[in-house]
Amino acid sequence: MKIGICGCAGRMGRMLMDSVLDTDGCDLSGGSERSGSPTIGRDLGTLIGRDALGLTASDDITALFEASDALIDFTAPAATVAHAALAAEHGKILVVGTTGLTPEDEKALAAAAQRTIIVHAPNYSVGVTLLTALTERAAQVLGDDFDIEIVEMHHRHKVDAPSGTALGLGRAAAAGRKVALDQVWCKSRDGHTGARRRGEIGFATLRGGDVVGDHSVIFAAEGERVELTHKASSRAIFARGAVRAALWAEGRAPGLYTMRDVLGL
């Protein structure tokens, strides 16, 4: 499979190129960057500390789609929406790990997925995917007697909060209770907030240092507490999961899939 990387010069982009090159059955078809980036024209191999590959970073995204069977996109919401439209136009697989998407952005992905294969997940870690499934099941079994709080911590440079993974865990918990997350969430608390509402799903966001990603889902009731936790120590796990998703997607029917589909959960 020929896999191209959108946003190839970023931290995740470089990890993704490494992962493609280290995975059997994959070839790196190229990488794109925004116009004006100082990395335009640089060899992708030397960009990630390897021997030259004869492929250079380019701002010609259309050419990258034409050269690839699948593209992996961990960029920004506006770019991802544009890439989804191109994926539909060219009939190419798109694996999306971009966070901070609005409901309108997600609708655009769903519309593009009517014509091509799109895998969209807030987190491509196998462990986090399992955590999400366990969260839904625990919320279903434990019921409203248990308060749900989701705590996440990331590095100081992360720009969106709560994290996409935390929101994904919140959606899983809400699904377990058969409610819509936006009807029960509490994204922050400050001042005199009053007592906690029954059925509320709370979020707490921490930022600092170089933390790759820590997520905990806490189920707290009278006399007992259940905690489910995942801690990531390397971004490489996300890159490996995304490449795995791209390989899994080959030959699938057009549609919008998740990492839970990839793992059969």
Q: Is 127 annotated as a binding residue?
A: no
Return the H-helix or E-strand segment holding 139: helix 126-142
| Alpha-carbon Rg for the chain in angstroms | 19
Strand bridging mode 117-120 / 255-257: parallel
Annotated catalytic residue 83: no
Question: What are 46's two structure tokens?
Answer: 């030397």
Q: Is 10 annotated as a binding residue?
A: yes
Q: Is 205 annotated as a binding residue?
A: no
What are φ and ψ of residue 12, in 5° steps? -70, -35
Handedness of CA 49, 35, 12, 8 (dihedral sign): negative
Q: Is 174 annotated as a binding residue?
A: no
Q: Is 112 annotated as a binding residue?
A: no
Q: Is 9 annotated as a binding residue?
A: yes
Catalytic residue among 2, 90, 158, 187: 158
Q: Is 252 annotated as a binding residue?
A: no
Catalytic residue among 83, 154, 215, 230: 154
Bridge partners, 231 (sequence order): 214
What are φ and ψ of residue 172, in 5° steps? -65, -45
Q: Is 155 annotated as a binding residue?
A: yes
Annotated catalytic residue 154: yes
Q: Is 123 annotated as a binding residue?
A: yes
Question: What are 103's two structure tokens?
Answer: 């409901």
Which residues are annotated as part of the binding site? 7-12, 97-99, 121-124, 155, 164-165
Which residues are annotated as part of the binding site for NAD(+)? 7-12, 97-99, 121-124
Residues forming the active site: 154, 158
